[in-house]
Amino acid sequence: MAQRILALAAEEVPERLQEALQSLGEGELGDMVTKQALKGRETAALLRGIFKGSPCSQQNGVLRRLQVYKHCIPLVESGDLHLGKVSEIIGLLMLESRQLPGHALAELATLFVDVIKGGSLSNGKSLELFSTVLTALASSNESLAYGKGELNGEDFKKQLINTLCSSKWDPRSVIHLANMFRDIPLSGEELQFVVEKILRMFSKLDLQEIPPLVYQLLLLSAKGSKKTVLEGIISFFDQLDKRQKEEQRVPQSVDLEVTTMPLDQLRHVEGTVILHIVSVMNLDQDLGEELIRHLKAEQQKDPARALCPFSVALLLSVAVKHRLQEQIFNFLKTSITRSCKDLQFLQASKFLQDLFPQQYDVTTVILEVVKNSAFGWDHVTQGLVDLGFSLMESYEPKKLFGGKAADTSYGLSKMPAQQAGRLGASILLETFKVHEPIRSDILEQVLNRVLTKAASPVSHYIDLLSNIVVSAPLVLQTSSSKVTETFDNLSFLPIDTVQGLLRAVQVQADVHACYNSAANEAFCLEILGSLRRCLSQQADVRLMLYEGFYDVLRRNSQLASSIMETLLSQLKQYYLPQPDLLPPLKLEGCIMAQGDQIFLQEPLAHLLCCIQHCLAWYKSTVHLCQGAEDDEEEKEDVGFEQNFEDMLESVTRRMIKSELEDFELDKSADFSLSSGVGVKNNIYAIQVMGICEVLIEYNFSIGNFSKNKFEDVLGLFTCYNKLSEILKEKAGKNKSTLGNKTARSFLSMGFVSTLLTALFRDNAQSHEESLAVLRSSTEFLRYAVSVALQKVQQLEETGQTDGPDGQNPEKIFQNLCKITRVLLWKYTTIPTVFEEPGKKKGKSISLLCLEGLLRIFNTVQQLYTVRIPQFLQALDITDGDAEETDINVTEKAAFQIRQFQRSLVNQFSSPEDDFNSKEAQSLITVLSTLSKLLDPASQQFLQFLTWTAKVCKENALEDIACCKGLLSLLFSLHVLYKSPVSLLRELAQDIHACLGDIDQDIEVESQSHFAIVNAKTAAPTVCLLVLSQADKVLEEVDWLIKKLTSLGSDTSEDSSQASNQTQALEKGVILQLGTLLTVYHELVQTALPAGSCVDTLLRSLSKTYAILTSLIKHYIQACRSTSNTIPGRLEKLVKLSGSHLTPQCYSFITYVQNIHSESLSFAEEKKRKKEDEAAAISTVMAKVLRDTKPIPNLIFAIEQYEKFLIHLSKKSKVNLMQYMKLSTSRDFRINASMLDSALQERNTRDAENEPDNDQSSTAEQTDENQEPKKKRQRKK
């Protein structure tokens, strides 16, 4: 039959062909097409023949065509046909579909929808036909039956798409359907339906099927709905990341239905999707713009939703395209600083933490992107590197006056800009560790910046370089040419940069790790030869050599003999062997003259210090380990050891005997730095003092608690102290700032900790007699504590100390713990008031101990943050040997706080004569520092807050500094517990009661809450502190209003959740502002003295009205977008501002103007009496102008507030202005009675001057006809 139809189709006789086709039943026609298609021969010709014999002008022809279509659709989807044959059939059907009438197209389209709903699609080839059918249907003008009514072709197509998107799809056909929709003309609404449906299908698909679907979806977005597409993709992968994290956090998931996805598979899929998005953006530039627009809008509402690891990775990949790089980096940098600022706000306020329990940190997200990029995300790495350098450049340390960088690498950064700069360095370091191919590029860029930014601080780049070299030392070898180039330019760089650079790239060879022993020995001897040559260099080089010898010796004990011999021969050049010759060392050999200038040639004290430490190490280590291996070598070693001991013994004995005159130094000597003699004497004095200190440490260390040795120590100290006193005295006379600085001590930190422990904590009976020698000297005790203080200060400022192990963090930490234990015991056990007499010469020992403790607590929190638990454990003498497994920091810190609380209470309860203001201030600062270690949610924190409030309430302190310290402590604690507004109100009431009312006739009811607020402290101290804290609350409220505004614009699915959050924020804002208004209500009625208090209050009021205006604007916007009425609590706030603040503000303005008028009139009176006081008067006038400058700003702020209140009243249909009264200060209406009296007074004066009127009448008439004269401009 098929052959007959083919033959008839070829004859061009349509009647016979139609008859033949008419004779075939529906089943026969289908079987014939199937057989022909399976044979693979002449299928297209057969179909053409059937279509030729089935004209669309006849009903039978249309039905036959529909039968063919209905049969061919399942046939091509069956998978039985070759793909080429399928394409051929579909192509023909697509061509012929254009001829079908509208009702046939509608039926065919409905069939397709049923097929899709039934999940019968296998290869999706027939969907090409569906798109053609729908396109043809849309252009049909025929009325088509749909349900009980009729629709045109376009509306019918719309209904079909709606039905299709509302039905269930087979996951296998989603990609084919997405591809199909690209070929269909869709309206914006239809496209939105389709895109949302495809996005909902993401969760139903296997992970591997997501990238091709995303690609199809992105191509579809060329029609529109770009924002929805990007938002859906980002949201989907964000949810997957969160689920992955949750599964890693809780491996044994309770929900067994959730199948764990492999992490590497997820990351590879994410990487592929990002590549797809970037490739489509290359074709469609609007997509990139839309991405940035969308993320900016999301960031305003919810930063966590905008910047997740996936979206950040996507942005960084897109940033490689130069056109968008600047926009993207600006957006990311703004987001980072904003996130850091938000975190800073949240961490400093319990009130904000309650409103925002979940804290978002973009820095964590970006570092997570670096970690994720290890899974083959090469397209992200360049963006990460560029972002890292961009952050470091944008937020580099600022250069302060004097050239020192403001931001050092020690301690924690507090400012958002500093945190952003640190994040840049972290991104580069982590990227360097993860991606080996890009390491050389990062290193070279860092070195380039060190060279080219020599004028700016480069410490942050040097720190990064140091970390890079530590993580992968061999990178220096791969970039050796760049490193060599950098070294070639060292001479052009500042000295600090050079030192930092050399320290960062210093390569240390382990001479024991490779080669044979002979090669190692040769290598060591070569190094030693180079070091020996340094002994003939200038003083700075020798000084570095002496400081480094100890480390060389400690790391390579084989060099011990050579180094000790070298040091011995160097010392012999300056040592005088005659036993009775004073002084024992040739100081004149240590200096060098060049013309009129004197220089230090040999740092003799450093040489002796180096010898002392090397000898101590040698005796404790090498000497014990040698055994009897080589008798001859041992005798030789013992020889130089004995030599050193004899020489140091002799120098000690003769230094004690020496008088200052022996060194050509006495009270009459010249110590000025302007003359050569003065410089020489200063050098001599510092060298002698250093030698004494070195010998003190040596003799104490070898003395083994011998009374004679300790007497020698005291004798050496006497020599040191005489010189120290002379230098201080001379410096005081010359008023030299250099001279006032104490010379840096030569005692090592380890020895200082040992010495302090012996002096204050050694209770051994066998040591008592010898230690009594040292303990008898108060000056020596004070000196020991002062040196400890100096070492801690050096550690705080530079992160290291002088002497052996000064750069070893572990040893420094151990010594710090020992020093703290002693100082703490000394201060808490022996109060200052019971200290022995003689304290008038400088600070008492207890006060020095307290100062040292304060510095130590600060230093530990900066440098040893992670080791704070171990530090506090070490201070607890009761269980110092306890396990370190679970140390409760809050409990330990609270124990230390209690000790200082007792000391402060003793200070406050002591008689007025014994009250030590400096000690009380230091105690308050110590308490403030330790309070940072308490958990704000703990009971101990609440107890400390209660105690602080009680101290402020019960102690009528008149000491300004202590009052300031206590109230600052109270505020810092209170904000971490709850909002401080109620506390501020009580303080404001106390200030009002203390200073009186601006209306002298009103007597303020005295209701003292805080005794600390009294006549001496109320103004300016307490008043300025209250206003400062109120400003911080205003900043928080302003921040919240901005958050409110961004939440108000959220129209997403979570809008109900956003609405609940908005209500909570609005309530918080209004309650804060309401209580703040009562604070200002008290202050504006207070008779504040002219000056800083008045000025600050006026500015603070302007800020308050500006924030009230922002809140009103928010409600105006809310009324525009929704039909919500304004809440009752806002009405109450407006009423409160109208009754309790605005009228009082105008009264206060009048009061301020009156007190300034009085000061001006007083100045005028003085001017009449004495003409020569013109300068004083101009000063008063300038002060008045300065103090009244904020008044116009305040009036403007009030008027702006009222203006927007009128707007809100109109929008909300609530009359808010009924609460606002028109102020007399701005009442410019003409008062009729006053005008009448003024006119009468003028008429009276005119009548008295009547004789003159005739003479001037002509002139007056002339004047009336002329224009008034222009006002002369006042000279400025």
Rounded distance between C-alpha atoms, residue 72 and residue 90, angstroms: 8
Are both 734 and 799 inside the same structural domain? no
Domain containing residue 896: 888-958
List the one residue out of 329, 327, 339, 244 whose CA is nearest residue 293: 327
Q: Is pLDDT at 632 greater than 90 in this prediction? A: no
Q: Do 345 and 405 form a contact (C-beta atoms < 8 A)?
A: no
1087 pLDDT tier (thresholds 50, 70, 90): very high
CB contact at 8 A, 884 and 869 = yes
pLDDT reported for residue 413: 47
Is the same domain home to 1013 and 1065? yes
Domain-embedded: residue 664: yes
* Amino acid 408: pLDDT: 42
3-state secondary structure labels for all residues of 295-331: HHHHHHHCHHHHCCHHHHHHHHHHCCCHHHHHHHHHH
Quick: pLDDT tens for 89-111.
777 677 766 766 767 777 777 77
Do the domain assignments include residue 425?
no
**Tens-place pLDDT, residues 1092-1106:** 999 999 999 999 999
What's the whole-model pTM score? 0.81
951 and 1001 co-located in one domain: no
Q: What is the mean pLDDT of residues 1243-1254?
A: 54
For residues 181-207, one letter each, b for 16 or more C-beta atoms within 10 angstroms of the residue's C-beta and e for the rest, the string is beebebeeebbebbbebbbebbeeeee
Please, are residues 46 and 20 in contact by the beta-carbon 8 Å criterion?
A: no
- In this prediction, residues 677-704 reach a mean pLDDT of 91
Does residue 600 sit in helix, strand or coil? Answer: strand
**From CA 171, how far away is CA 168, in angstroms rounded?**
9
Instruction: Indicate if the pLDDT at residue 634 is higher than 60.
Output: no
Residue 309, preceding bond cis, omega within 30 degrees? no
What's the 3-state SS for 110-158? HHHHHHHHHCCCCCCCCHHHHHHHHHHHHCCCCCEEECCEEECHHHHHH
Instruction: Find the mean pLDDT for residues 382-406.
Output: 72
Any idea which of 596-605, 691-700, 963-972 has the lowest mean pLDDT?
596-605
397's torsion region: left (phi>0), alpha (psi -120 to 50) or beta? beta
- pLDDT for position 231: 87
- Reported in sequence order, the residue ranges of 922-977 that DSSP labels E, i.e. its strands, are none
Torsion of CA 132, 137, 138, 141, to 10 degrees: 150
Is 361 contained in some domain?
no
Q: Are residues 1068 and 1161 in the same domain?
A: yes
What gap in Å lies between CA 388 and CA 442, rounded to an integer?
10
> Does residue 560 contact residue 616 with C-beta atoms inside 8 Å?
no
What CA–CA distance (Å, rounded) separates 1222 from 1138?
10
Could you tell me if residue 474 is inside a domain? Answer: no
Q: Is residue 525, in this structure, part of any structural domain at all?
A: no
Q: Is the pLDDT of residue 975 over 90?
A: yes
Least confident of 186-190, 627-631, 1082-1086, 1164-1168: 627-631
List the structure tokens of 1274.
Answer: 């006042």
Structure tokens at 1213: 């249909």
Q: 757 and 820 in one domain? A: yes
Contacts by 940-948, CB closer than 8 A, 24 or more apart: 940/890, 940/891, 940/893, 940/894, 940/897, 941/890, 941/973, 941/976, 941/977, 942/977, 943/894, 944/894, 944/897, 944/973, 945/970, 945/973, 945/974, 945/977, 947/901, 948/973
DSSP reduced 3-state for 956: coil
User: Is pLDDT of 740 > 50?
Assistant: no
**Among 235, 124, 258, which Cα is nearest to 181's?**
124
Among positive and negative, which fits the CA dihedral 1224, 1225, 1230, 1232?
A: positive
> Residue 794 domain-assigned?
yes
Angle at 563 between CA 560 and CA 567, to 5 degrees: 135
**Per-residue pLDDT averaged across 1040-1053, rounded?**
72
In this structure, of 116-125, 278-287, 415-424, 1153-1162, the range with the lowest mean pLDDT score is 116-125
So what's the pLDDT on residue 1266?
44
pLDDT in tens, 349-381: 999 888 888 777 888 888 888 888 888 888 888
Q: What is the mean pLDDT of residues 1210-1216?
A: 84
- Looking at residue 885, its pLDDT comes to 61
Mean pLDDT throughout 1192-1208? 91
- Terminal alpha carbon distance of the chain: 112
pLDDT higher than threshold 50 for residue 883: yes
Which pLDDT belongs to residue 561?
A: 83
Report whether pLDDT(1071) > 50: yes
3-state SS, residue 870: helix
Segment (H or E) for 593: strand 591-594
Contact between 985 and 1075 (Cβ < 8 Å): yes
* Separation CA 1265–CA 648 (nearest Å): 110
486 band by pLDDT with thresholds 50, 70 and 90:
confident
**300 token code pair:** 């305003």
Q: What's the mean pLDDT in 697-703?
A: 93
Q: What's the chain's average pLDDT?
A: 79
Cis bond before residue 1020 (omega within 30° of 0): yes
Assess whether 726 and 843 both reside in one domain. no
Residue 244's pLDDT band (cuts 50, 70, 90): confident
What pLDDT, on a 0 to 100 scale, did the predictor assign at position 1254? 46
Residue with token string 């002062």: 786
Closest C-alpha to 468, from 497, 500, 431, 508:
431
Residue 238 has pLDDT above 70, yes or no: yes
Between CA 969 and CA 962 the distance in angstroms is 10
Residues 6+ apart with CB under 8 A from 1044: 1062, 1065, 1066, 1069, 1114
Percentage, residues of the chain above pLDDT 90: 26
What average pLDDT does the segment 147-170 reach?
72
Final residue in a domain of this structure, among 742, 774, 789: 742
| Residue 494 belongs to some domain of the structure | no
State whether 715 and 752 are in the same domain.
no
pLDDT of 201 > 60? The answer is: yes
Are residues 842 and 853 located together in one domain of the fold?
A: yes
810: in domain:
yes
| C-alpha span between 384 and 553 (Å, rounded) | 43
Assigned token pair, 792: 């801690």
> pLDDT (tens digit, 9 = 90+) per residue, 902-924?
999 998 888 877 788 999 999 99
Binned at pLDDT 50, 70 and 90, residue 228 comes out as confident
Residue ending a domain, among 34, 68, 99, is 99
Which amino acid makes up residue 601? Q
Beta-ladder partners of 592: 599
CA dihedral 1017, 1018, 1021, 1025 (to 10 degrees): 130
Per-residue CA distances from 916 to 910, 982, 1252 (Å): 9, 32, 78
For residue 866, pLDDT over 50 is answered with yes
Average pLDDT over residues 1215-1237: 64
Same structural domain, 110 and 76: no
Boundary-marking domain end, from 881, 913, 944: 881
pLDDT band, very low/low/confident/very high, at 1265 (cuts 50, 70, 90):
very low
Q: Averaged over 267-281, what is the pLDDT?
A: 87
Residues 848, 839: Cα–Cα separation, whole Å: 11
Number of domains, the chain:
6
**Which H/E stretch holds residue 944?**
helix 939-954
pLDDT score, position 932: 94
Q: What is the pLDDT of residue 622?
A: 63
Q: Give yes or no: residues 91 and 106 share one domain.
A: no
For the chain, percent of residues with pLDDT exceeding 70: 75
237, with CB counted inside 10 A (0-12, 13-18, 19+), is buried
The reply to whether 1037 and 1168 lie within a common domain is yes
Which residues does 791 contact at the CB level (< 8 Å), separation at least 6? 745, 747, 749, 752, 801, 802, 819
Token pair recorded at residue 434:
């993860």
Which has the minimum average pLDDT: 135-149, 303-317, 506-520?
506-520
Max distance between CA atoms of the chain, in angstroms, equals 146
Residue 1268 pLDDT exceeds 50: no
Res. 1079: pLDDT tops 60: yes
Span 1145-1161, pLDDT tens digits:
999 998 888 887 776 66
Q: What would the mean pLDDT of 633-662 be, rounded to a whole number?
A: 81
Question: 575 in helix, strand or coil?
Answer: strand
pLDDT in tens, 527-545: 677 667 777 777 777 877 8
Return d(Cα 1151, Cα 1159) in angstroms, integer.
13
1058 and 1136 in a single domain? The answer is yes
Of residues 205 and 127, more confidently modeled: 205
Higher pLDDT, 264 or 1161: 264
